[in-house]
Structure 1
Amino acid sequence: MRVVSYGGGVQSTALLVLAAQREIPYRTFLFANTGDDSEDPRTLNYVRHIAANYAATRGIDLHILDRRKRYGELETLWGRMMRRDSRALPIPVRMSNGKPGKRSCTKDFKVQPIGKWLKFHGASADNPADVGIGISLDEIGRATNRHSEPYERIHYPLLELGLRRTDCIEIIRKAGLLVPNKSACFFCPFKSRNSWAKMHRDRPELFRKACHLEDILNIRRRHDHKDPVFLTSTGRPLREAVTRAQDELPIDVGCDSGWCMT
């Protein structure tokens, strides 16, 4: 069994094009959806309409996987945090010193849904699936940190081909596809201040929703006599941090296939 863990960003979309061109031996792509209320809407639109249509016309199976509880109930990352009785902090919120806290979002909403699909279709420790990951040469450090599960063998087709992010963009454009945006949950604390500022400017309703999440988390933290947490590394609430940072913003760096290590 060969599949690609599809993130909906530049690198993994380049893998989709390469698969369609028979340059790499993958015909199944798996996109783990953290939730329609959690993923960046632009990513969901790209995956469902652009990537899915491209895959379907080229004989590639692209599956969108949701997280399901034991009895089939749909669970989203946003829903887990916003549940009235929840104290969950599954995302890597920033502590007062700017460092990210522990997270379970990647494991619960990315790794597990894909793993469940693989095992249902026959993958096991004795018969592991080959799983392609979209990591390019210029972010090779991410490959060394990618943990593999017993039922999978991890492969890095872009590294094997010696391709960088710029090469991926060119591959996508030559295929006649739009280049996707950076993929991640819209409230991801790994987002740069530049990205937050663009959201504040271009998608104010989504920005306000992220601010609301931060407010809710800290109302609960105060009730439990705990230190506040933030969605940026500034140690200030999101609405303050981005407003003060807009004059001098850092360069927006990072991978385009998501911060989830998938």
Structure 2
Amino acid sequence: MLCLSAKGLLPRIDAAVFADTQWEPKAVYDHLDRLEREIAAPAGIHIHRVSSGHIREDALDPDHRFASMPLYILNRDGKAGMTRRQCTGEYKIKPIKKKVREILGYPYPTRVPKGVFVEQWVGISTDEFHRAKDADVKYMRNVHPLLDIGWSRADCVRYLTSLGLADTPKSSCLGCPFHGNAQWRTIRDSSPDEWSDVVEFDAAIRRGNARANATGNQLLGQAFLHRSRVPLSEAPIDHVTAAEWAALQAQDGAPDAEELEAGVVDGCSPWACRGEQPEPTRDDFGLTA
């Protein structure tokens, strides 16, 4: 959408906002720098980079409140579950709303007057029209330009390719549990340092978040980044084992082969989160009594 606006194929936007969890792949930051340099700046469009903190460091800091990721849990009774996802709201939606209020001239806690709002573009294509939803505040009104012009994901890929941006990477945290096996393999095979980083994080969160543990509210079970619920360094990311497939089929709403490989399709983009997590949730990363 930024490219379409900068090239005059869509109306000119006033600004773009990137919510940074500070734990994206290096390829994403490199791509963002390129977009800013080659597309946005020449068109006079400013990209605001906003953040609520470093999601990885916050998870391991006993003095910091941590908004939990949707981690896969193996409870003491052997049953599987997930921790509730709070990270999208805390690390993406919250800083975007803060910046929007600043752009409007009414930073929190100043009340935004009735009738004052920003038109926010959300990049949902025709393949995912079911994800389109309204903002939950009156000072933001969501619009979906790709739906308006009838573009599918394939149309977007063709257009990016025509601009020399065929290698546009997916924006998501390095250690997002919604990754599919293909994404885990890409990290392992193309970026050894980032792979070591997520493997270390996976081990560090095994018993819950640092703050909960420090206050005596340990996770009653074990947490994992991979849906197989084994350490990431040992997870079957090159193939799905027969045992894993059998276990998955025994669960309600088990993922199909495509989701295992490609990850949760809807991901956790702001204002386009999937309505349900793939498995039943527990209430908190550190308080799963």
TM-score for both structures, normalised by structure 2 = 0.73
Could you say if the C-alpha distance between residues 32 and 101 of structure 1 is closer, same or farther in structure 2, counting changes exceeding 3 Å? same
Within the alignment, does 1:48 sit opposite 2:33 as a pair? yes
Deviations along 1:53-108, one digit per CA (max 9) or x if unpaired, are 321012222121222xxxxxxx2111211214457352111223665421221111
- The reply on whether 1:235 has 2:222 as its aligned counterpart is no
Report the equivalent of 1:23.
9
Match of 2:100 in 1: 118
- Which residue is 1:3 aligned to? none
Q: Which residue type is aligned with residue 270 of structure 2?
A: M
State the AA in 1 paired with 2:268.
Answer: W
Pick from 108, 125, 139 the counterpart of residue 151 of structure 1: 139
Deviations 1:149-182 (A, max 9, x none): 2320011111111111110011112223343111
Q: For 1:52 and 1:91, how far apart are their aligned partners in 2?
A: 32
Following superposition, the deviation at residue 194 of structure 1 comes to 1.7
Tell me which amino acid in the other structure corresponds to 2:174. Answer: F
- How much does 1:255 deviate? 5.5
Check the 8 A contact 2:40/2:47 in 1, yes or no. yes
Correspondence 1:141 to 2:130: yes
Cα distance in 1, alignment partners of residues 40 and 265 from structure 2: 23
Residues 118 and 190 (structure 1 numbering): CA distance in 2 closer, same or farther, change over 3 Å? same
Tell me the CA shift for residue 260 of structure 1.
Answer: 2.6
Partner of 1:260: 269
Q: CA RMSD in A?
A: 2.5
TM-score normalised to structure 1 length: 0.79
2:250 corresponding residue in structure 1: none
Residue 46 (structure 2) aligned to one of 61, 75, 84: 61
In the alignment of these two chains, the number of paired residues is: 235
1:21-55 CA distances to partner (integer Å, 9 max, x unpaired)?
Answer: 222222311111111xx112111111123344321
1:169-184 superposed matches below 5 A: 169-184=157-172
CA–CA distance in structure 1, aligned partners of residues 16 and 233 of structure 2: 37
Does 2:72 match 1:94?
yes
> What CA distance in whole angstroms lies between the structure 1 residues aligned with 2:168 and 2:82?
26
Structure 1 segment 193-212 matched on structure 2, within 5 A: 193-212=181-200
Residue 130 of structure 1: aligned partner: 119
Q: Which has the larger radius of gyration?
A: 2
The 3 A distance-change label for structure 1 pair 64 and 86 is: closer
Q: Of the candidates 56, 59, 70, which is equivalent to residue 81 of structure 1?
A: 59
CA-to-aligned-CA distance 1:85-133 (integer Å, 9 cap, x gap): 4573521112236654212211111111111111112263621111001
Note if 1:186 corresponds to 2:178: no
Task: State the distance in 2 between where 1:105 and 1:161 align.
Answer: 31
In structure 2, relative to structure 1, the CA distance for the partners of 1:217 and 1:121 (3 Å cut) is: same
1:103 to 2:90 alignment? no
| Aligned AA (2:68) | P
User: Structure 2: how far apart are the matches of 1:181 and 1:44?
Assistant: 10
Structure 2 gaps of 5+ residues are 107-111, 241-256, 272-289
Structure with higher RCO (Cα < 8 A, 6+ apart): 1
Q: Which moved more, 1:176-185 or 1:89-98?
A: 89-98
- Contact kept, 8 Å, 1:99 with 1:233, in 2: the verdict is no
Structure 1: distance between partners of 2:103 and 2:173: 27
Counterpart of 1:215 in structure 2 is: 203
Q: 1:233 to 1:62 in 2, by over 3 A?
A: same
**Where in structure 1 do 4 or more consecutive aligned residues deviate above 6 Å?**
none
Query: Percent of aligned pairs with the same residue?
Result: 24
Structure 2 CA distance for partners of 1:85 and 1:217, relative to 1, 3 Å: farther
Q: For structure 1, list consecutive stretches of 5 or more residues without a partner in the other structure.
A: 1-14, 68-74
Q: How has the CA–CA distance of structure 1 residues 87 and 33 changed in structure 2, closer, same or farther, with 3 Å as cutoff? A: closer
- 1:246 is aligned to 2:238: yes
Determine the C-alpha separation between the residues in 2 that align with 1:255 and 1:20. 28
